[in-house]
Amino acid sequence: MSNWIINQGLSAFILVVWMGINIFLFVYFYLFYDLGPQFEYTRELLGSALPWARAPAAVLNFNCMLILLPVCRNLLSLLYVNLCKTMRKQLDKNLTFHKLVAYMIALMTAVHTIAHLLNAEWYTNSFQGRYGPLATKLSMLGDSRELNTTYLNPVRSNSTTPTILVFTTIAGLTGVVITLALILMITSSMEVIRRSYFEVFWYTHHLFIVFFAGLVFHGAGRIVRSQQVTDPPHNNSLCENQLENWGETADCPVAQFAGGFPQTWMWVIGPMIIYLCERLLRFIRYMQPVSYRKIVIRPSKVLELQLVKPGFKMQVGQYVFLNCPAISQLEWHPFTMTSAPEEDFFSVHIRLVGDWTEKLIKMVENLPEGGQGPKMAVDGPFGTASEDVFDYEVSMLVGAGIGVTPFASILKSIWYKFKDSDPKLRTKKIYFYWLCRETYAFEWFADLLQVLEKDMEERGMRDFLTYKLYLTGWDQSHVNHAMVHFDKETDIITGLKQKTSYGRPNWDREFEQVQQENPSSVVGTFLCGPQALAKDLEKKCVKYSDVDPRKTKFYFNKENF
């Protein structure tokens, strides 16, 4: 249990607090509208659909306040610098929390919408006299200053249908717009769409502007009304039995009603201002000049861009957003930097995936000899889990495919630190694992490993870096070829002394080895790769963390974009 607390305790606590607030808001406002005396006559028209509509609205307000904050990356970077390591790990899960909040918004929107559709039906039926004399009396109240009356039922004509009510009121129209925008945003965020058609996801997700605009105005119609205090007071229990005497006697003045003051804008105005500041900062960065130091197209269809930007400072494992106006002025795509902070430039490696990267690579391929690349705008850098790698004496780095990029930055930085004999380097041992489907994916990173391999050997630190390469998309011909050349000093695929393994790592064996070789260390486990691998490694971190504080403990960290 303590092992689980080490890796998941704070995340679970935050989740419980968030869920607790949601449950509290739902229950509190459900009871408020279900039992509140000021809504007694409103419930006479709408029944239980009233609390079922208003309770989700309160939960929606809370979650719509939260939904923008996890994607305010500059705010997160600011917090990242000023928080302890344990809290920074929670910021690395910003997109997971963003999705969780979105799911809650979707659920509450469904409940809220269904309840209000029932309300539209029941408002209409009440006006048409289908629910008894009290409901009919309440529905017929007019909005007259002379007679000192106010209406309760927004339906004012027998020709009004639920459909007309929905499409002719502020609440109805904005509700339709909000719901459609939400449906499009959620469906386009599905993994298969986001991976294969990123542009569809990117542009559709910007419907959040429409969503929040509709949200701000949604309550302006004040369609749900409550009973007001009058002088003399209107005694509901007495006046329900004296409908014909309303306004005729002092005991039963005509009941007065008014819509509640819109509150949603008060919940979301703060996050909206923060997000606007984010966009303003992004625009300023968009205008800052970026020049090319070097452009390299690797045979494996990986494009390496070495860029220079005045005043740009980075840390290991950080990422930037790139924008190429020649392709799209609106699209920004995240890429982990592969350079080290000690270098006078920053670099990214871009794999051909999707339309944007395909267009960029084609533009670069068609450049004339010595020509500069297309104009590039850079937003960032932004912090990630990998920044904490030097806080651990022992680190396990796991990269899958192009997910090796943050570790390229880390290993380069380590090389520079050894070269400069940096006394601040706490790291004593690094285990590096790289999983690739195709052999050609190794080629662009093998050069760096060769340099590190040679340098560590010359310094008598061969044991500092243990790296293992795994080819997961192999066939029998690869195995046969490897067996024929097994006695060679270097690997036939990478040219490294460490031979490439075929298949996937046995993680139990790897964690046992790390545990045995580091019996009293805190080990930082870092992954840049798929979610399935993340779940597996997280379980291993829990499994192999010892309860005894004097023995090995594993802390799991994952890159998120």
10 Å Cβ neighbour count for 118?
18
Q: Which of 434-443, 489-498, 544-553 is predicted least confidently?
A: 489-498
Cβ count near 233 (within 10 Å): 9
Q: Is the pLDDT of residue 439 over 70?
A: no
Question: How far apart (Å, rounded) are the C-alpha atoms in residues 100 and 118?
Answer: 28
What DSSP designation does 559 have? -
Residue environment code for 500-511, b if the CB has 16+ CB neighbours within 10 A, otherwise e: bbeeebebeebb
Which of 331-345, 364-378, 465-479 is predicted least confidently? 465-479
Structural domain 385-558, CATH architecture: 3-Layer(aba) Sandwich (3.40)
C-alpha R_g of the chain:
31
| Cα pseudo-dihedral 548, 554, 555, 559, rounded to 10 | -170
pLDDT at residue number 497: 59
- Indicate the range of 114-123, 200-209, 218-227 predicted with least confidence: 218-227
Q: Which CATH code is given to the segment(s) 288-382?
A: 2.40.30.10
- Mean pLDDT over residues 414-425, rounded? 72
pLDDT computed for residue 108 by the predictor: 96
Percent of the chain exceeding pLDDT 70 equals 86
In tens, the pLDDT along 78-104 reads 887 676 666 777 777 888 899 999 999
Lowest-pLDDT range of 32-46, 263-277, 468-482: 468-482
Cα 6 to the chain's mean position, in Å? 23
Measure the CA–CA gap between 114 and 243, rounded to whole angstroms.
Answer: 32
Residue predicted with more confidence, 172 or 247: 172
- The per-residue pLDDT for 378 is 92
Decide: 384 and 515 in contact? Cβ < 8 Å: no
| pLDDT above 80 for 127 | yes
486 vs 495: CA distance, rounded Å: 12
**SS3 sequence of 241-307:** CCHHHCCCCCCCCCCCEEECCCCHHHHHHHHHHHHHHHHHHHHHHHHCCCEEEEEEECCCCEEEEEE
- Phi/psi region, residue 422 (left: phi>0; alpha: psi -120 to 50; beta: rest), is beta
**The residue type at 277:** C
Only one residue has tokens 């964690």, namely 511
Confidence of residue 467 (pLDDT cuts 50, 70, 90): confident
443 CB burial (10 A radius; 0-12, 13-18, 19+) = middle
pLDDT tens figures, 391-412: 888 889 888 877 777 888 888 8
Residue 34 pLDDT: 93
* Mean pLDDT, residues 204-211 taken together: 93
Model confidence over 171-189: pLDDT tens digits? 899 999 999 999 999 999 8
Mode of pairing for the β-strands spanning 257-259 and 319-323 = unpaired
The 3-state secondary structure of 370-410 reads: CCCCCCCEEEEEECCHHHHHHHCCEEEEEEEHHHHHHHHHH
CB 555 within 8 A of CB 525: yes
Cα 1 to Cα 8: distance, rounded to the nearest angstrom: 10
Would the CATH topology of 288-382 be identical to that of 385-558? no
- pLDDT at 59 (0 to 100): 97
- In the chain, where the domains are located: 2-280, 288-382, 385-558
Average pLDDT over residues 146-156: 76
pLDDT at 545: 82
Compute the mean pLDDT over every residue in the chain, rounded to the nearest whole number. Answer: 83
Q: In the structure, what pLDDT confidence band is assigned to residue 57 with cuts at 50, 70 and 90?
A: very high
